[in-house]
Structure formats: C-alpha cells, structure tokens
Structure 1
Amino acid sequence: MIFPAEDKILRGPDCNTPLPDGLARYVFDKLHQHGDKVAVVPSWLEVCRPVQVYPQRGGLQHTYRQLRRLSATVAAQLGRLGVRPGDVLAVATDGGPQHTPLFIGSLLTGVIFAPFNPSFDDDETRHVLGFLRPRVLIAEKSKPLYERLTTLVVSYDEVDAWFSGSSVEDADPEVEEAPALDSPAVILCSSGTTGYPKGVEVSHRALLQLLAVATDQRMLMWLEGSFMLPTPAFWISVTMMLLISINAGKKVLLMGKFDEQLFLRVLREHQVLSTLMSPYAGVRLGKMSPQPNLEPLRAIMFVGSPIDRSTLLELQTKFRLRAVQVYGMTEVLMTLSDTRNNPAPLGSVGRPQPTVEIKVVDTQTGEALGPGKEGELCFRGPMVTRGYYNDPAATAAAIDADGWFHTGDVGYYDGSGLFYVTDRIKDFIKYKGEHVPSAHLEATLLKHPAVLEAAVVGIPNPETTELPRAYVVVKPGVDVSAEELVSFVSKEVSDHKKLRGGVIFLDKLPRTATGKTFKRILRELATKDVDE
C-alpha cells in the first residue's frame, strides 16, 4: 500500500494481472475451461462435481458445462425476443437456478442485467421500473403491475421451458462485441434505507478489474470445500462471488434467503468452509439456543452494515472460526479487504485493494484527515461506480468534480493503513452539539442477555436537537423492562450517549431486503410519537 502523508490519500498496490479483453468472452471461456474437466458418460449424462447448488430448490445442482449451455440458450432466446445490446433486462427474483444463466446470457448479448427485489411495494416497483425502462422483464412470480409497466414480461416457467428445450451439446454463441468499458454491465438497486432505491451502475471495467484482482490475489482458489451465499440475488455480493467462483472454478451454494435450519443442514452436506452474510444473520446465529454446531465452517464474512468488535469476538470464541467485517457497497464493490496471508485485526475491514484510492474527509469542511481521525470514507478507482442510472442529480450529489465517490459511511484508518467503519452519517444522532453513533449504542444493547435485536434512532427535541431512542426485540420467553435496559446502557456509555429517548419494544425490526434495519420507518415512528 502506498501511504503518502502529504495528500492523506491511501492507495492500494498495483494489480499485476492485466484486464481481460471483454467480460462476456472471459466468463464464457472460463465456463468452457472448467467444463473440459467433465467426464461425459454416456453422451447425454454429465458427470462431475457440481459447481452451483440451490438448497432451497430441493438441492438442484448445476455443473459448469450445464451453466455454459444454459447461458447460451438465454442469449439465443433474448435475441429472438428482439433484445439488443444496451437494452435493459430486468429480473424480479430472490435467486435460484435461473439466475446465473440469465446473468451470463445477458453479458453474451451486450444487454444490461438488472435484478431487483420482487418484494418491492407498488410505489417502489413503479419507481425502479421507471428509471430502468427495461426492454424485457423476467419475473419469478407474476404481478399485474409488471404487465402495466413493462412492454414484455416473461415468467420463470417460460425460462424453464427455454432450458428444457435447449441442446445438451456445448453451444458457442456469437458473443457481441465488447461494450465500452465504462458502460453498465449490471444495474443494482441501492438499499433504499433513506428513500426510494437508486439504480447503481456497475460497469464492465469494474467487473473486469474485480476479476483481475481476484486472479492476482488467488481469491477462492485455495478453498478446498464450498462457499455459501445465503443472500438474495439482487445483492452486489452475489454478482461478485458468482464471478469470483467462476474465475476460480469453485463450488458455490446459493440460498437466496437466509434460513437458519437449512443453513445448518447444508454446512455439513456440502463441506461449506466459508460463507458471507449480513450482521443481522450472524447475530441470530449467535443467539440461537441451544447453541448450533457450525462445523466444518471456518470463516464468516459480514457485509452490508457494521458489526461491532465484541460481537465478532463472541462469534469467534463460541464457534471456533474466523469472523470478519468486510467493507463493501454496491457503489464501490470490494475496495477494502484483508488477505488470507495478511489478515486484518478483529474489527478492521482491512486495507485498500489494488488500484483503489481512499481518503477520509471531515464531514463539515471536506478536508482530508490523517490517521485516527473519524470522517466520511471516499473512494476513487476503476471498481467505483460511474453513477446512478438515469439519475444525474443523484450522481452529482455522490461523486464530486475530482471523481471521488462519497459513501456516507463514517470511519477512520490507523497508522498502518488499516480501516475501521463506525457508522453512517445519517445514523448519527445529534445531542447538544455532540455526535452520538447509533451503532455503538446498538452494540451495547446487544450485550444484554435479553436483547435479540436493537436499533437506535434520534427523536426530535427542541432543547437538545435529538434524543437517542432504542427499539428493541427481546428473546422469546425473556422478560426485561425498558428501565432496566436504559440503566444497563447508562453504565456502559458516556453521559451524552445515554438513552434519554427511552426504549420501545417491538415484535420485530423493519428490515430491508439486504438485512439492514429500515431506520427511516423507525424515525417516522419516533416522530409520530413526539407529535402525538
């Protein structure tokens, strides 16, 4: 890592692996490369270890040879539907065996792939389809609204019919000329915790750079067992890990949604050694009673929102594995990370990845800050988004004139260039001129043995600006009072961080599809309580 003090910009190392010529051809050739290892006995039966497994679909499995054939089928069918390079293919799905062929088939035809959350309400769906303007929408489950908002809607049953009629022989479709490097390959929706989702452009350059870094650092190539993704297909982590697993020729299990019992069962069935999940899922695993057996799992990577050091330490101790916070967001891909040979200390999200520039700026002045000073994380580099699809205003608000993407995440780096993420700017609570980090209060509440989930927001107050209020879900069958929790926190934190807004109990916290707490709903609830 290059760490010059004069400009306070931290730079990742060079990447020694050149960019592939084109994303579609590179991925398709990788499927062919790994498919060549398959023994075909007899000619219509493909025999090899599976590379994609779908536990929620009865354990359906795909080999690389099958993925190659199904992706070619998708490319041919999209052409028959009149889809052209640069058009958008929207896919309403949590995941499943259709997802990877649809993704790769889109790349082969130069189409922009746009998976989105099928659980969006009608207003969110109108907004998302409004900026996507898809040529075709493929839906796992039908909705009348899709028909009204899109010219052509294709069901998953029709996609399955494409697959059942495809040839077993390896297809070699004509791959469209590689699109411009900075044009979008994928559009993914932001989590929408503070408003309507935005369409994040993930460019061909960004994904090619991801593959180059993955090759340079041998990501997943060392893994002897399987990797599990218990996350929805519209998360950026799924897009990244699909490409990295194809690059490495490794097996990945795709669950679509986190299910504790299914997760525990397939760990041993498929020798899962590593997984990635939201902090919410990790907290639930840690609080399960009786304590589950996570063998043979060796590592859990947490993504999507901060997870406190004490929770990581608890999980490591309880389950005898490595628990790490991985920093990433749809807009910046995998720009901070530790490495297998140079792991980051507990609580750190690692150092800058190759080709990435990072700085921490004062949230008021924009001045670049030195080590140990907390501010907003800003990123620049080939893996960083070029902006939001059909939304120039949002793009201009997030990316400054010098090309720095402002994340809205608060953190700092130490003298060794290791980064730590502490909160979101919008989640800071303002009390008498002091900034109160909600993540710290949530971590404190989770230390209480009765607390299953916790979220802290500010409630309006004319004298102090805001008061910290906690919304808490308690463990089933456990009794605890609001006063007890307020007192518990007061003993753990400084005076300005005390829960002066009180504690409110809920049956469950509102969450986005990415597992993040929907704090906008909690703020609205808190404001309504004050107004009443």
Structure 2
Amino acid sequence: MKSGDPNKVVLIDHTSNEVIPNKILLEWSISLAKYLKSQGYTQKEDVIAIVSPNTWKYYVVLNAGLFLGIPMNALNPIYNKEEFKHCFSITKPTIIFASVVCLKTLENYRRHTDNSIKEIILLEDVIDDNFKNICYISQQNSIYDDYILEKVDPKKQTALILLSSGTSGLPKAVALTHYNIRHSMEYLMHPDFVGLDEKSVSLVVLPMFHIFGLLISFTCMTTQSKSIFLTQFKPDIYLKAIEEHKVTNLFLVPSLLLFLAKTPLLQNYNMDSVTNIFCGAAPAGKELELCVKKRFRNAEIKQIYGVTELAGAVTMTTKTTTSKHGSVGVPVPGTIIKIIDLDTKKVLPLGKKGEVCIKSPGCMKGYVANDLETRNSFDDDEFLKTGDLGYFDEDGVLFIVDRLKEVIKYKGFQVSPAELEDLLKKLDGVMDVGVVGKPDERSGELPVAFVVKAPECDITEETLINYVADNLSAYKGLHGGVIFVDKLPKNSTGKLLRRELIDQLKI
C-alpha cells in the first residue's frame, strides 16, 4: 500500500455518508488483526468468513486477514441456511464477520449443525450481549502496542476462498494465493488496461464477495485512489453518486450496462467525469456497447473476460482495441491463451472457434477439499479448461461466442443447474427435470426448468416457481419459467443433453 496523507479520504459510503480517511482504515485494520492474534487465530489452522453486504468495514476485515495471512472466505449475504451449510462444509471457517441482516440465518445454521465456528463478530455498531462487534474491538486494541506482520509464502498461502460453480455442479471453493491476487492487481494498475492510480475515483456497487469487486477494492487501497461504494443498486442514487463525487471509473455487469443504455434518468445528471466503463462477469454485445458510448461522450467502454479460478480478468479491452466492439480484448500481462479443437484437442489457428484454455500467474491453488475436480480442470499442459467457446481474430483479439459449461449467468451471478434440478426432484410429482439458461438482454440468462410430471399429476408452474423461491436465494429463481415436457433428451449413457433443451427455447 502506498504511504500517504493519513487524513486523505479513501472510502466514502454514499448511502450512509460515512467518510473514511487513511488513518481510520489503518487503525481499525491493525486493531482487528491484533485482536485475532490475541485470540490465537493463525494462518495454518483458521479461516475467516465474511458474510455482509458492501460496507467500509469489509475493508477492515480484508486488511486484518492479509496482515496475518489467514485465509478469508467471502460469501453471498443472501444465502439461506442450506447454502451456508454446503459452503461451510467445505471451507470450515472458525470465525465469521457478519452483518446483522445475515445474523438470523447464520445463527439458525450454527444451532443445527456441528461445526468449528468459535465466534461471530458483527460489523455494525450494535449492542448485543451475545456478540462482539468490530467497533468495540477497534477501540480496545491500541495501534501503538507491539505488532508484527505474519510472514507468508505468497505462492503457497491461501489469501481468499471464493465460491465458483466451475464447469458444472454445486459451488466449489476456489483457493487463491497472495501471489495470485498480486498478479491481478498489477494489471489493474497497468496504464494500458485499467490504470487505477491515486487520481482515480471508482464507484463500487459490485458485491465484495465476488472476485471482481474484491480486486477493485484491494487495488484502490493499494493505489490510494478513492472508492465510492453503495450497499445496493438504486438507479437515482447510483447516478447521483457519479455526479456528486465526479467518478472516473465504473465497474459493471451487463445488466447495469443495459441500465445505462436505456434509463431516461441519465438526462438529469452530469456524467462528463466518467472516462472508463469496465464491464465483466458476462459478455456484452456490440449494440449495447455502442448505445452506452453515445450517452457517455468522454468514456471508453471496455469489456473484461474473467474467471474466478484465475483470480479475475484474463483478457481486457485496451485503448487500442476499443474499436473491436463485442470483443473481450487481449490477454492481460503474463497470461497465455490457446483455443483448442473440442474433438482433437489440438490448438486452432486464428479465426477458428474452440474451447478457451488459459495459463496464468493468477491460476488458483485449487478447489478446497476437491483434488479430483482440481485435476480435471486442467489439461496435460497445465492450462485451465474454461468451458467457454471463443476465437481470436486476425489481430489477436478474443471473442467469446458461447459456453460449454452448464452454469447459468443471471445478472452476473452464477446459478448451478444441478442445484436447481436436485431441489425440484425432491417434489412429489416431478419425475425428471433439466434446467438451462434462456438468453435475456437485461439479465444475461434466465433459469428455465423443463419438467417431466408424474402420470396424472396436476402440479403447476406456479407451484414449482414458488418452491424454488422458498428454498433458494432470489437470484437462483426460475425467472424464465417452467416448460412441461413428456421426456428429456438424453444420450445413451443417460446424460442430459442440455444443448437440445436450449435449442427448444429458440423455436
């Protein structure tokens, strides 16, 4: 982290109007690290879980974990008890930093599960005899006491554990090392790519449990650039924040890019300060790019192709490739990409479509407690098999055109078809089910369930949609509806042919 003016404002919570200078962020971070150390938490035996919407105190926990080298597991705060159960069974956190909005669910999980969680610490300044809060801890540990940063082996020690659906199945826990994160921060500071520096003002609405949001946060702290963040997206507040703070960088997913392209509210605000709009999590089309460009006259629209298993971006639009609308740019420094034939596995020439395979310094340590899936994710030359279909054009610019992987991307969130199928199959009257993503301009993809009903069963679409809504997080809902069929297409070994279901959606 760059040294600087202790009174310089580095974080602003636009929702609560909290203004956080360097001095406060550093003092709170060191105080929390000292508390963790005094309680015996170590990098070899413990995992910190963070379960909260965006807040400046998220940065405090991240810093404390990095100071001590303790792995940190960032999780979606809207998970329910069963989703936490699945995640925690893999990551096994010993301490949780949580928002009060998640506390009831976490306590429900903790009461009904044998686990290793020693304590839950609240991020809000609330009085509760059953829980400590981070505010109280920061006041009990003086920054001037003896304090030593813990040494880590950056290439071996896990820094972050993030959830990813990989190529299929239930979420897997991706272990990223300190070295992986450092690599990603380098291209975020590189002037030809993101170019974050002390003059940048970034608006952060992306969730900090997502690799995209976390990397931006880390790099803003490192470069001493200003971060304006929102706990949730609200159109008028979002646009007001851009104008009021003269934001230079926007980091978005396609659904937010679509909002900027179409909202009539934009005419009420001055967007001239915006010089860069970065869009990741899913590809955005050429027409969408051009529409936003017309409304943001001073901004370049840059797409990012990223993979959680590779600690973030692997390609990005640069200043020299912004004319390649609809592309995801060129490889970031240190990254090697090959396109392979799906059948022969041989490397394909420019212009030929195949599977995108990547080797990078950002490549994960592996999936936690899942050596088999880790091995299966790489080819013989140690390239990660992304499951994405793409091609390089004659100028070496990458285009992503389709996905082999089964995971559905809804508004930037990953939705596992297998998770939805497993849930629906539990219902009486459901004989079989297959879930796929239906392309949607606003949301990316909408989960659709093809359902085979039991004979003489009168189960309805509404029943199935409500059942999923009652048992999973909102973004995992059947937003594309239910289609009843007599049978599902399968191959000779009984594997569901999802591509045929997707083709049926086009009819």
Q: Which amino acid is 1:277 matched to?
A: L
Q: Name 1:203's counterpart in structure 2.
A: 177
For residue 217 of structure 1, report the CA deviation from its aligned partner.
4.0
Q: 1:297 aligns with which of 254, 261, 274?
A: 274
The answer on 1:93 being equivalent to 2:47 is no
For residue 527 of structure 1, report the CA deviation from its aligned partner.
5.1
Taking a change above 3 Å as real, the CA distance of residues 172 and 328 of structure 1, as seen in their structure-2 partners, is farther
For residue 328 of structure 1, report the CA deviation from its aligned partner.
1.1
For residue 216 of structure 1, report the CA deviation from its aligned partner.
5.1
- For residues 442 and 174 of structure 1, the distance between their equivalents in structure 2, rounded to whole angstroms, comes to 52
Number of matched pairs: 425
Q: TM-score, normalised by structure 2?
A: 0.75
SS for the counterpart of 1:268 is helix
Q: Which amino acid is 1:245 matched to?
A: C
Percent identity for Structure 1 against Structure 2: 22
Taking a change above 3 Å as real, the CA distance of residues 170 and 59 of structure 1, as seen in their structure-2 partners, is farther
SS for the counterpart of 1:280 is helix
- For residues 268 and 162 of structure 1, the distance between their equivalents in structure 2, rounded to whole angstroms, comes to 36
Q: TM-score, normalised by structure 1?
A: 0.72
SS for the counterpart of 2:309 is coil
Taking a change above 3 Å as real, the CA distance of residues 423 and 170 of structure 1, as seen in their structure-2 partners, is farther
- For residues 328 and 66 of structure 1, the distance between their equivalents in structure 2, rounded to whole angstroms, comes to 33
- For residues 104 and 124 of structure 1, the distance between their equivalents in structure 2, rounded to whole angstroms, comes to 26
Q: 1:233 aligns with which of 205, 208, 227?
A: 208
Q: Which has the higher contact order (CA 8 A, sep 6+)?
A: 1
Q: Which amino acid is 2:84 matched to?
A: T
Deviations, residues 318-376 of structure 1 (Å, cap 9, x unaligned)? 33332222111211222212334664622221111111111112233322211111222
Q: Which amino acid is 2:26 matched to?
A: R
Q: 1:326 aligns with which of 281, 304, 325?
A: 304
The answer on 1:174 being equivalent to 2:148 is yes
Taking a change above 3 Å as real, the CA distance of residues 365 and 294 of structure 1, as seen in their structure-2 partners, is farther
Query: Is there any run of 5+ residues in structure 1 with no aligned partner, and where?
Result: 1-26, 39-46, 430-437, 447-451, 463-505
Q: Which amino acid is 2:337 matched to?
A: I
Q: Name 1:313's counterpart in structure 2.
A: 290
Q: Name 1:10's counterpart in structure 2.
A: none
- For residues 345 and 121 of structure 1, the distance between their equivalents in structure 2, rounded to whole angstroms, comes to 41
Deviations, residues 59-79 of structure 1 (Å, cap 9, x unaligned)? 212222222211111111111
Q: 1:363 aligns with which of 336, 342, 348?
A: 342
Q: Name 1:145's counterpart in structure 2.
A: 108
Taking a change above 3 Å as real, the CA distance of residues 179 and 172 of structure 1, as seen in their structure-2 partners, is farther
Listed as ranges, the matches of 1:376-391 within 5 Å are 376-391=355-370
Q: 2:32 aligns with which of 74, 80, 85?
A: 74
Deviations, residues 13-45 of structure 1 (Å, cap 9, x unaligned)? xxxxxxxxxxxxxx4xx3xx12xx24xxxxxxx
Q: Which amino acid is 1:93 matched to?
A: S
Taking a change above 3 Å as real, the CA distance of residues 151 and 248 of structure 1, as seen in their structure-2 partners, is closer
Q: Which amino acid is 2:205 matched to?
A: P
Q: Please, what is the CA RMSD of the aligned residues?
A: 3.4
Checking the alignment, whether the CA contact within 8 Å between 1:124 and 1:197 is kept in structure 2 is no
Q: 2:247 aligns with which of 269, 272, 278?
A: 272
- For residues 159 and 360 of structure 2, the distance between their equivalents in structure 1, rounded to whole angstroms, comes to 17
- For residues 175 and 257 of structure 2, the distance between their equivalents in structure 1, rounded to whole angstroms, comes to 29
Q: 1:374 aligns with which of 353, 357, 376?
A: 353
For residue 181 of structure 1, report the CA deviation from its aligned partner.
1.4
Taking a change above 3 Å as real, the CA distance of residues 65 and 136 of structure 1, as seen in their structure-2 partners, is same
Displaced runs of 4+ in structure 1, greater than 6 A? Answer: 456-462
- For residues 453 and 211 of structure 1, the distance between their equivalents in structure 2, rounded to whole angstroms, comes to 28
Question: Which piece of structure 1 moves more, 413-422 or 397-406?
Answer: 397-406
The answer on 1:122 being equivalent to 2:89 is no
Q: Which amino acid is 1:251 matched to?
A: K
Q: Which amino acid is 2:241 matched to?
A: V
SS for the counterpart of 1:94 is coil
Taking a change above 3 Å as real, the CA distance of residues 423 and 257 of structure 1, as seen in their structure-2 partners, is farther
SS for the counterpart of 2:313 is coil
Deviations, residues 71-115 of structure 1 (Å, cap 9, x unaligned)? 111111111222111321011112201111101101111200111
Taking a change above 3 Å as real, the CA distance of residues 265 and 459 of structure 1, as seen in their structure-2 partners, is closer
Listed as ranges, the matches of 1:14-25 within 5 Å are none
SS for the counterpart of 2:352 is coil
SS for the counterpart of 1:335 is strand
- For residues 308 and 172 of structure 1, the distance between their equivalents in structure 2, rounded to whole angstroms, comes to 54
